[in-house]
Every structure is written in structure tokens, then in C-alpha cells.
Amino acid sequence: MATYLTGRVMSRPSSAPARSSQLADLILAHVLNHGLEPGDVLPAEGKLAAHFQVSRPVIREAIKQLEGRGILEVINGRGAVVRPLSEVQLVAYFTHAIAVHHLTFRELMEARRPIEVQSARLAAQRRTPEQLEAMQAIVQRMRRNIGNADVYVDLDRDLHALIAEASGNVIIMHLVRAFRGALNDLTHEMLYRRRNRQQLERVHILHDAIVTEIGYRNAEAAGRAMDVHFGEALAFLIERQEGMRR
């Protein structure tokens, strides 16, 4: 737990919002410079106020800003605590983009595609035997539930999340989960429900191919299989959209 403070005392901007914003950046620099980890507690309000030569309300506002960014969490009886990395803020960002800026499903899928491809490549290089076994078990369950959109969608989400976890890259893991969280299960379910049996079989063949190549530790082949999977999903989506326009 870090209870010390270092760094230059800031000059004072003319407005309280400006002071709290600048202070939030300085507190964040403290977190980064000292390698604080999730669960570490920042110094008490009074110590922060004395060090930065500002009032406690300004300290509270700065901490509130960092809490809004998902960096800190204020816990009763403990104070400001460093939060673990989470995709919550990313989900909120993508959901906001969809709702306010009318970002389309197609645009999100286009952005997600290269991340998922890299996820598969890295998973082939870094997966553990236990992770591979879990992927294989999910694919087997997917085969048994290929005609059940409700179950298949859940398993699809679990498989992609597990591949991202096996990539060993925390940023990729959270991005994959965030894209899926923003798109939501209903969208994916609709995508599956609109496919015929032959198309669903093709989707499953590609899922199986991705996991097979990850099992062989063939990074390039795993990436290609994932790329084909997303390419065909995009093609299907575009075809459906054009059909609806006609």
C-alpha cells in the first residue's frame, strides 16, 4: 500500500474545474509512477490536499473524475482505491457510439475483426493445455447445439472470450469482451437465427478450424481461420442489409 507522495506541487489555475482536472492528472501520474496495483489505497484526502496545496473539495472532485474514468473506486472505510482493469468503460464507450453517433454493427465488426485475428494468432502461440481443453469442450457443445440459437450464442461468446484470454494480452482480452458487450447477445442471436442450417454448419466448421489450429500452435492458420470467419459474417450482414433495402 502506498502512502507517500512525490512530485512537483502544481501551479494554480484560475478556476476550480481546471484545478481539479489538473490535479486528477497529477494523481494519475502518482499511480503510474509508483506502479500502484489494483487494491492499493491512495493517501488520505488531508495528505493529498496538503501535498498539492489545494482544498479538500478540489481533491474530492479530482478523485471523482478518476472514479468516473474507472481508475479509482472510493470505498467506505478505506478511501480511494485503484480499480482493476475492466472492459466496463470500453463497453460504455462503444454503446454510446452506437446510440449517439449511430455507429453501425458493420463498423463495429470491421473494427473487431483484426483484433480477433490477432487474438487467435497469439492464442496459438501462448495457450495452455488447460485452455485448449476448455476450447475443445466448448466446440463440442456448440456442435450439439448448432440448431439452438440461444445456447449457441452463449457458447460463441464464451469461446471468443477464452481465445482472447489465451492470447495472454490483457488489452485484447478486454477489447474482445467490450465489443461483444456493446453488440449484445440479441444482435448476435438475430444474426444466427437468420442463417439456414447449411450456413450454421459453415459457421461451426470455422469455429472448429480456429480451435484446431490453436491446438496445433499454428498461429498463421489460426489467424486465417478467424479472418475467414469474420469475413463471412460481414458478407452475410451486408447481404442481409441490402436485401432489407430492396
Q: Which of 35, 67, 82 is the last residue of a domain?
A: 82
CATH number at residue 52: 1.10.10.10
pLDDT tens readout for residues 26-39: 999 988 888 889 89
**Quick count: other Cβ atoms within 10 Å of Cβ 32?**
10
Cα–Cα dist 157/25, whole Å: 36
In the chain, how long is the greatest CA-to-CA distance? 69
CATH number at residue 150: 1.20.120.530
3 pLDDT band (50/70/90 cuts)? Answer: very low
181 pLDDT band (50/70/90 cuts)? Answer: confident
- For residue 111, what are the domain limits? 88-245
pTM of the model: 0.76
pLDDT tens readout for residues 47-76: 998 988 899 999 999 999 999 888 899 999
Of 195 and 6, more confident = 195
| Claim to verify: residue 192 and residue 138 sit in the same structural domain | yes
Cell of 165: 484470454
| Claim to verify: residue 239 and residue 180 sit in the same structural domain | yes
C-alpha distance from residue 15 to each of 18, 74, 117 (Å)? 5, 25, 47
Cα–Cα dist 226/207, whole Å: 8
